[in-house]
């Protein structure tokens, strides 16, 4: 006997098990949602989608409700019959369900001949053939092959566990052939990953900080400017009145020089301040805001670290890349946190944006443009020259003009000169502050607009890439194919046919730390699974456990285990208050196989979802009830379970065959 404890997957020894991560809920997908006032037809259509999604118990409830409300067509009859028996053996039917099946021919009123009525008749004939081992199945198979492709596909998928006898191997051959054809169909390898991607949040950029000029600065600027202008004009008046032409010319030149010096000086100052701010922002010492562990900001920070480590430019050492871009990384992280913190979205919804921003940094690095701002903000030599020349002309001309004015009217000119110096100094400082603040806002807005434009382009590209995201029914169909292919592998390894197997069952659980997603009212789907298949034979139990890479449809890390029926000591499912469920199979020698089937994210409910819904449909889709029926029977009755189950099956089958014959007569 193989020790099941020698594994690092969800199958673990000593009652150990591995948890899972919370994942994505596609809140805009309503294929499994039905309103309280839905019409019978709406309930039926939803039930069909649910059945195709691999949840027969929930599908039966909806289809039967439509049936009870007198919405009865040949199509409804077909799906009603399939949902009743899907995924189960005859022995798992309750007395009430068995009674419905016994009387189904009388209850299902077919109208006319179409593909659906042919399907209903074919299902009935298949069920009857189980109790007629001597019947020539060639006629039955010929009729089955003449059915429409839709009806054949559905029958093969949903009746594989219910059939028995000679017809079982034939139907298994049909099921396996289709499973191998459909397993990787419809570009599965290129599309599965998209199901686990959340609906992307629209791009946002942190709005530029508004212009912030205190009232006191405006008051200083206006008052000082008024004083400066009046005092300056007064000096010019004194020179003109005295007829001092040379000093007046110097006065005019000083005014012109001051204008050009101030304008170009403001440009010089803006470029210097802006460049310094960028250096501080992109510098390695730039700090990020604090983020509590597990919060939105912490998740954004983690994702930036992941993508910066992943998208390293070719030919650059990772340590060098991370060190040189540490400041940029923190700057981008802070910007996105500020833009989205109050938007009530999950960090996973903006992974696309984080990835885009990191790729943009990498592309700029490759092109050598990442630090282009230093060249763009470098002050041109002409600007510096005009500034210096203007200030020089202002000082020389102003001094010359002031001297002439003092000679004309000493007291009045001295008073005006004092006002010119004081008012000019205060006005220059105030207007420089105002100018730099407006220029800063304009530059920030321009950068934000550029980032927004690039982000929206990336958003459109990402949405286009996700346009062919598979729906949940495709995921269910692929997973069903994987189960059949795995079952065939187990049969081949143990050199068995389906008719040699008394019963088979699956345990389907998520692999550790795998991505997961679901639609509203739908089961959780996982990117990686841990699958266990149990084959019950007359010699005991054959068990095969594998890790399934669902995206690629490949099996890994196979573990096989054989044991007698008497070796099964107990089978149980532990359920916590948070609806976490762990399947445990204990053997008499103390070994345990433990699998966490559902985790704490199971009831991560959305609006209009009822408590218990998600766990119920997830367990239904995983077929846990069928597995428990078989393994619990073995644990309770041992090898005698086989004969007891056959006896119970024969009793119910006899009633079923008798009821069907009575219906025909």
Close Cβ partners of 353 (under 8 Å, ≥ 6 residues apart): 200, 201, 203, 336, 455, 458, 459
Give residue-wise pLDDT tens across range 190-240: 999 999 999 999 999 888 999 999 999 999 999 999 999 999 999 988 888
**What SS3 class is residue 286?**
coil
Q: Most distant CA pair in the chain: distance in Å?
A: 136
Q: What is the pLDDT at residue 10?
A: 40
Q: Are residues 266 and 362 in the same domain?
A: yes
Close Cβ partners of 456 (under 8 Å, ≥ 6 residues apart): 203
343: β partners: none
Q: Do 261 and 386 form a contact (C-beta atoms < 8 A)?
A: yes
Q: Are residues 532 and 565 in the same domain?
A: yes
Query: Rounded to whole angstroms, what are the CA distances from 108 to 67, 80, 126, 571?
Result: 10, 9, 16, 39
**What SS3 class is residue 185?**
coil
pLDDT tops 50 at residue 551: yes
Mean pLDDT of 70-88: 90
Which backbone phi and psi does 370 adopt, to 5 degrees?
-65, -35
Distance of CA 609 to the CA centre of its chain: 19
Please tell me the distance from the alpha carbon of residue 520 to that of residue 522, in angstroms, as a whole number. 5
Assess if residue 204 is contained within a domain. no
Please tell me the distance from the alpha carbon of residue 167 to that of residue 138, in angstroms, as a whole number. 9
Predicted confidence band of residue 1 (pLDDT cuts 50, 70, 90) = very low
Assess if residue 87 is contained within a domain. no
- What tokens appear for 154 in the block? 């559905």
Please tell me the distance from the alpha carbon of residue 388 to that of residue 395, in angstroms, as a whole number. 11
Mean pLDDT of 609-614: 71
Q: Are residues 256 and 381 in the same domain?
A: yes
pLDDT tops 50 at residue 5: no
Give residue-wise pLDDT tens across range 456-515: 999 999 999 999 999 999 999 999 999 999 999 999 999 998 888 888 888 888 888 888
pLDDT tops 90 at residue 80: yes
Q: Are residues 330 and 409 in the same domain?
A: yes
Range of the domain at 260: 215-462
Which backbone phi and psi does 93 adopt, to 5 degrees?
-70, 140
Q: Do 621 and 32 form a contact (C-beta atoms < 8 A)?
A: no
**What SS3 class is residue 556?**
strand
Give residue-wise pLDDT tens across range 622-658: 777 778 878 888 888 777 777 776 676 666 555 555 5
Please tell me the distance from the alpha carbon of residue 629 to that of residue 645, in angstroms, as a whole number. 11
Please tell me the distance from the alpha carbon of residue 613 to that of residue 61, in angstroms, as a whole number. 13
Q: Which of 85-94, 309-318, 333-342, 563-572 has the highest mean pLDDT?
A: 309-318
Please tell me the distance from the alpha carbon of residue 554 to that of residue 343, in angstroms, as a whole number. 39
Q: What is the pLDDT at residue 211?
A: 92
Of 659 and 415, more confident? 415
Q: What is the pLDDT at residue 287?
A: 53
Helices (H) and strands (E) in the chain, counts: 23, 10
| Residue entry with tokens 């218990």 | 612
Radius of gyration of the CA atoms of the chain, in A:
39
Distance of CA 358 to the CA centre of its chain: 19
Mean pLDDT of 522-539: 90
Q: What is the pLDDT at residue 513?
A: 82
Q: Are residues 500 and 611 in the same domain?
A: yes
Number of domains in the chain: 2
Mean pLDDT of 557-573: 87
Choose one of 587, 602, 622: the last residue of a domain: 622
Side-by-side strand order, sheet with 540-549: 503-510, 528-537, 540-549, 554-563
Q: Are residues 427 and 311 in the same domain?
A: yes
Q: Are residues 520 and 456 in the same domain?
A: no
Q: What is the pLDDT at residue 653?
A: 53
Please state, for a pLDDT cut of 90, what percent of the chain lies above it: 42
Of 570 and 10, more confident? 570
Q: Are residues 436 and 387 in the same domain?
A: yes
Please tell me the distance from the alpha carbon of residue 381 to that of residue 387, in angstroms, as a whole number. 10
Angle at 522 between CA 521 and CA 527, to 5 degrees: 145
pLDDT tops 50 at residue 8: no
26: β partners: 519
pLDDT tops 60 at residue 3: no
Assess if residue 319 is contained within a domain. yes
Give residue-wise pLDDT tens across range 317-374: 999 999 999 989 999 998 999 888 776 788 889 999 999 999 999 999 999 888 888 8
Q: What is the pLDDT at residue 604?
A: 66
Please tell me the distance from the alpha carbon of residue 482 to that of residue 228, in angstroms, as a whole number. 86
Q: Are residues 411 and 526 in the same domain?
A: no
Give residue-wise pLDDT tens across range 158-173: 887 777 767 788 888 8
Close Cβ partners of 376 (under 8 Å, ≥ 6 residues apart): none
What is the average pLDDT score of the chain? Answer: 84
Of 454 and 622, more confident? 454
**What SS3 class is residue 147?**
coil
pLDDT tops 90 at residue 439: yes
Predicted confidence band of residue 7 (pLDDT cuts 50, 70, 90) = very low
Q: What is the pLDDT at residue 662?
A: 53
Q: What is the pLDDT at residue 435?
A: 94
Mean pLDDT of 6-35: 58
Q: DSSP secondary-structure letter at 567?
A: G
Assess if residue 115 is contained within a domain. no
Q: Are residues 318 and 436 in the same domain?
A: yes
pTM assigned to the model? 0.80
Of 443 and 652, more confident? 443
Assess if residue 496 is contained within a domain. yes
| Residue entry with tokens 């000593």 | 14
Please tell me the distance from the alpha carbon of residue 298 to that of residue 295, in angstroms, as a whole number. 5
Give residue-wise pLDDT tens across range 265-288: 999 999 999 999 888 888 754 555
Assess if residue 400 is contained within a domain. yes
Of 458 and 403, more confident? 458
Of 571 and 181, more confident? 181
Choose one of 462, 497, 529: the last residue of a domain: 462
pLDDT tops 90 at residue 27: no
Query: Rounded to whole angstroms, what are the CA distances from 519 to 256, 475, 502, 523, 617?
Result: 71, 11, 35, 7, 11
Assess if residue 350 is contained within a domain. yes
Assess if residue 236 is contained within a domain. yes
Among 205, 81, 87, 54, smallest CA distance to 151 is for 81
| Burial of residue 5, with CB atoms counted within 10 A of its CB: 0-12 exposed, 13-18 middle, 19 or more buried | middle
Q: Are residues 510 and 448 in the same domain?
A: no
Give residue-wise pLDDT tens across range 94-149: 778 878 888 888 888 888 888 999 998 988 888 777 666 656 677 778 888 888 88
Q: What is the pLDDT at residue 617?
A: 82
Q: Are residues 483 and 560 in the same domain?
A: yes
Please tell me the distance from the alpha carbon of residue 388 to that of residue 367, in angstroms, as a whole number. 36
pLDDT tops 70 at residue 599: no
Helix axes of 381-408 and 410-465: crossing angle, nearest 10 degrees: 160
């Amino acid at each position: 006997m193989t020790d099941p404890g020698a594994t690092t997957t969800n199958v673990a020894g000593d009652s150990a098990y591995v948890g899972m991560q919370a994942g994505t809920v596609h809140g805009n997908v309503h294929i499994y949602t039905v309103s309280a006032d839905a019409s019978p037809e709406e309930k039926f259509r939803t039930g069909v989608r649910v059945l195709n999604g691999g949840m027969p118990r929930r599908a039966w409830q909806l289809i039967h409700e439509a049936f009870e409300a007198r919405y009865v067509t040949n199509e409804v009859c077909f799906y009603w019959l399939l949902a009743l028996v899907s995924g189960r053996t005859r022995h798992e039917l309750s007395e009430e369900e068995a009674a419905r099946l016994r009387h189904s021919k009388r209850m299902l009123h077919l109208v006319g001949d179409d593909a659906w009525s042919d399907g209903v008749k074919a299902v009935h004939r298949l069920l009857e053939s189980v109790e007629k081992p001597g019947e020539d199945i060639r006629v039955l198979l010929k009729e089955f092959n003449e059915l429409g492709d839709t009806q054949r596909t559905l029958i093969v998928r949903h009746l594989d566990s219910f059939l028995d006898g000679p017809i079982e191997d034939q139907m298994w051959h049909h099921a396996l052939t289709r499973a191998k054809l459909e397993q990787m169909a419809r570009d599965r390898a290129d599309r599965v990953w998209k199901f686990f991607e959340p609906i992307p949040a629209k791009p946002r950029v942190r709005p530029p900080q508004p212009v912030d000029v205190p009232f006191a600065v405006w008051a200083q600027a206006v008052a000082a400017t008024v004083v400066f202008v009046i005092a300056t004009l007064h000096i010019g008046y004194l020179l003109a009145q005295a007829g001092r032409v040379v000093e007046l010319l110097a006065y005019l030149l000083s005014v012109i020089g001051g204008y050009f010096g101030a304008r170009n000086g403001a440009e010089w100052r803006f470029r210097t301040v802006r460049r310094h701010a960028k250096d501080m922002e992109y510098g390695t010492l730039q700090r990020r805001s604090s983020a509590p562990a597990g919060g939105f900001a912490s998740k954004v920070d983690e994702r930036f670290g992941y993508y910066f480590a992943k998208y390293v430019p070719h030919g650059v050492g990772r340590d060098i890349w991370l060190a040189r871009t540490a400041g940029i990384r923190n700057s981008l992280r802070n910007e996105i946190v500020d833009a989205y913190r109050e938007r009530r979205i999950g960090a996973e919804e903006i992974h696309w944006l984080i990835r885009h921003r990191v790729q943009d940094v990498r592309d700029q690095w490759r092109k050598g443009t990442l630090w282009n701002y230093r060249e763009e903000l470098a002050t041109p030599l002409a600007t510096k020259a005009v500034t210096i020349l203007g200030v020089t002309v202002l000082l020389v001309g102003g001094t010359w003009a002031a001297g002439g004015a003092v000679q004309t009217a000493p007291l009045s000119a001295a008073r005006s000169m004092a006002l010119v110096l004081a008012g000019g100094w205060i006005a220059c400082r105030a207007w420089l502050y105002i100018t730099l603040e407006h220029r800063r806002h304009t530059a920030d807005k321009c950068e934000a607009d550029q980032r927004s434009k690039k982000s929206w382009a990336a958003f459109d590209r990402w949405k286009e890439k996700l346009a062919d995201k598979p729906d949940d029914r495709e995921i269910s169909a692929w997973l069903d194919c994987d189960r059949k292919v795995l079952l065939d592998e187990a049969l081949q390894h143990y050199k068995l046919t389906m008719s040699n197997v008394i019963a088979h069952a699956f345990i389907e659980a998520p692999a550790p730390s795998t991505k997961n997603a679901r639609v509203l009212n739908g089961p959780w789907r996982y990117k990686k699974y841990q699958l266990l298949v149990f084959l019950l034979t007359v010699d005991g139990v054959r068990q095969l456990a594998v890790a399934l890479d669902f995206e690629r449809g490949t099996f890994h890390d196979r573990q096989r285990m054989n044991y007698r029926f008497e070796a099964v000591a107990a089978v149980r499912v532990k359920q916590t208050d948070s609806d976490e469920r762990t399947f445990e199979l204990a053997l008499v020698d103390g070994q345990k196989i433990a699998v966490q089937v559902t985790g704490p994210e199971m009831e991560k409910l959305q609006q209009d979802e009822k408590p218990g819904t998600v766990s119920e449909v997830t367990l239904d889709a995983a077929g846990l009830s069928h597995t428990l029926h078989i393994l619990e029977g073995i644990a309770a009755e041992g090898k005698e379970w086989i004969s007891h189950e056959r006896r119970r099956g024969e009793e119910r089958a006899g009633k079923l065959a008798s009821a069907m014959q009575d219906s025909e007569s």
